[in-house]
Amino acid sequence: MPLTGQSSSDRLQSWSTHGIKSTDQFAYFREAICRAFTNLAPEKPASIDFPATLEHIRIGCGALNRLAYKNYVVHRSLPKAASTSARCFYLNLKLAGDCNIRLADRELRQDSGQIALFDSARGFAIEHKKSSSFGVASLQIPTEALNQRLSTPDDVLPTRISDDPVLGPLIAMSMKTLNLNAARMAEIDSVKLFDVLLDLVALSYSRREYRGVRETSSIAHATTLAVHQAIETRIRKPGLQVSDIAASVGISERYVHMLLAKNGTTFSDHLMQRRLEGIAADLRDPKNASRDIGSIAFDWGFAELSHFSRRFKQRFGVRPRDWRG
């Protein structure tokens, strides 16, 4: 049957077996996954129906593929790998369920939340274990894009990158941010984040395999991104401390202060700025017209109304009730 994907933009294509005849669902999905990825061979499941969705988001020379599906096994045999000119790496973030990645010389278990790197030039089989649902965000990386970041490029062995005690949290934060925002970010921004993520992956792989990696300032940029993201996700928490952010990112409190200082700010100033901006937006939002100003301020982490009102006027030049209009 002909394969047609739905496009919500020139960068995004999506496929779903919803509405497809049950007996045709797996064939439809198999054709979609081979189009979005490269010459894979998923095994047909025992059941007839196969609910699944797939999104393909272009990111410069790479792509992000998001899949949600039920239990199945996918193969990429050595003959298929050898016959494909478009070699690439896959960086897979498991969103739901768990699986085993089997290769000739090793096997990796990947649970939900873990990130694994492997080379499409190697034959492999991904076996998903019995569960109600599975999901994966797979970053498709052109071979040269990763190899050029390694001072001694070589065959990349399958590696659970998220296990890295130093860089793992940064890689996870960057990968999750890209997965959540790639479709709505400007492409130039998604490409920048993509490059930062590859810098981190290259450094992590080099540390694990005792190979060299070219120095790059992107590591500091990626860490700064992780710090900002950690603040954003906790910004409404009363009494938020720099120690909370340092622990979530996996770095020292001193390093958090240093990174923010490079951007000309401090932790307390940045937190105050972002909270006031959030409150200002909420006050102008018609959906909040009936909400008390104090309630909005408390919702953004302020503990004292007088302190909030004073800082709001310092920032915007008017009292909160005058800002609301």
The full set of domain ranges for the chain reads 6-164, 233-324
CA distance 128 to 196: 30
* Residue 81 CA to its chain's centroid (Å): 26
Q: Which fold has domain 233-324?
A: Arc Repressor Mutant, subunit A (1.10.10)
CA distance 213 to 178: 23
Predicted pLDDT at 123: 67
Predicted pLDDT at 45: 61
CA distance 216 to 149: 9
Predicted pLDDT at 40: 58
pLDDT in tens, 60-91: 989 998 888 765 555 444 444 334 446 788 89
What is the 3 state secondary structure string of the chain?
CCCCCEECCCCEEEEECCCCCHHHHHHHHHHHHHHHCCCCEECCCCCCCCCCEEEEEEECCEEEEEEEECCCEEEECHHHHHHCCCCEEEEEEEEECCEEEECCCCEEEECCCCEEEEECCCCEEEEECCCCCEEEEEEEEEHHHHHCCECCCCCCCCECHHHCCCCHHHHHHHHHHHHHHCCCCCHHHHHHHHHHHHHHHHHHHHHHHCCCECCCCHHHHHHHHHHHHHHHHHCCCCCCCHHHHHHHHCCCHHHHHHHHHHCCCCHHHHHHHHHHHHHHHHHHCHHHCCCCHHHHHHHCCCCCHHHHHHHHHHHHCCCHHHHHC
Which residue stretches of the chain have pLDDT < 70?
A: 1-9, 33-48, 70-86, 103-105, 123-124, 128-132, 150-155, 207-219
Q: CA-CA-CA-CA torsion for 199, 201, 204, 210, nearest 10 degrees?
A: -90
Predicted pLDDT at 78: 40
Around Cβ 34, how many Cβ atoms within 10 Å?
A: 14
- Work out the angle between the directed axes of helices 242-249 and 168-181 (0-180°, nearest 10): 90
Predicted pLDDT at 213: 43
Predicted pLDDT at 275: 96
CA distance 175 to 92: 9
**What sign for the dihedral angle of Cα 304, 309, 314, 320?**
positive
**CATH: 2.60.120.10, 2.40.30.20, 3.40.50.2000, 2.40.50.140. Which one for 6-164?**
2.60.120.10
Select from 134, 50, 86 the least CA-distant residue to 126. Answer: 134
Predicted pLDDT at 223: 76
What is the value of pTM for the model shown?
0.61
